[in-house]
Structure 1
Amino acid sequence: MASDTGDIDALLDDMHERAAAMEGQADLPLDEMFPPGFMQRHTHDDSIDAFLDACEWDVDSREAFADVPQDEFDDYVAGRTRFGDWDAMVGRAGEEWMARQMGMEL
């Protein structure tokens, strides 16, 4: 039983170290947050670039993206993905990104 506790402690320590290393990753490039595999599994597009190119708004910068009406973009997301809105898509992408960083698969 002591061996099991040691293995769990080692795993928790490793997870804590990896999580600490991930702090400050809020400004990830979109292609890291939404890699092709994510886009192919969850959307009608092969890449985040294709997804954004297909929308009616010019979203080539963070500032331009901030000007897009949220409810209209949510409708776009709902029509082209498995998600009901942008927040849900970002949330799932974040979960998968974190799992990849920790060497886990979802």
Structure 2
Amino acid sequence: MSFDDLLMELQGQKTVQEDPNNVSLDKLFNESFMSQHSSHSSFEAFVEKGNFQVKVREDINNIPDELFDRHVARETDFADWDAMLAAATTAYNGK
């Protein structure tokens, strides 16, 4: 295998393997996941229902935990945000 072939293969591997901590919210909380665990078909609709402005994960960190946990418990079949995030991450990694 030539150096160029090896380089191309390694670059291809790098793009295929996404960092689970940097997966977009839309991919992590896809339509299938949201429909299965809530009455919302998208994560965007879910956060809009709670009047939250969330575009990236860091935005969630700016919401008081207690407030977001209550919204999750009310709008999904999860007890809190950590449980919802863990389930979505497991489902995403299981693909």
Q: Does 1:88 align with 2:83?
A: yes
Which of 47, 56, 63 pairs up with 1:52?
47
Tell me the distance in 2 between the aligned counterparts of 1:75 and 1:63. Answer: 19
Aligned residues: 80
Which of 25, 34, 46 pairs up with 2:29?
34
Unpaired segments of 5 or more residues in structure 2?
1-15
Tell me the distance in 2 between the aligned counterparts of 1:71 and 1:57. Answer: 13
Residues 93, 63 of structure 1: alpha-carbon distance in 2 compared, 3 angstrom cutoff: closer
Unpaired segments of 5 or more residues in structure 1?
1-20, 101-106
What whole-Å deviation, never above 9, does each CA across 1:12-53 have from its counterpart, x for those lacking one? Answer: xxxxxxxxx746331101111011000000011011111111
Identity value in percent: 32
Which of 54, 68, 74 pairs up with 1:73?
68
Shift, 1:61, TM fit: 4.2
| C-alpha RMSD of matched pairs (Å) | 1.7
Query: When the two structures are superposed, what TM-score results if normalisation uses the length of structure 2?
Result: 0.74
Tell me the distance in 2 between the aligned counterparts of 1:67 and 1:54. Answer: 17
Query: When the two structures are superposed, what TM-score results if normalisation uses the length of structure 1?
Result: 0.67
Contact 2:39 2:76 in 1 (8 A): yes
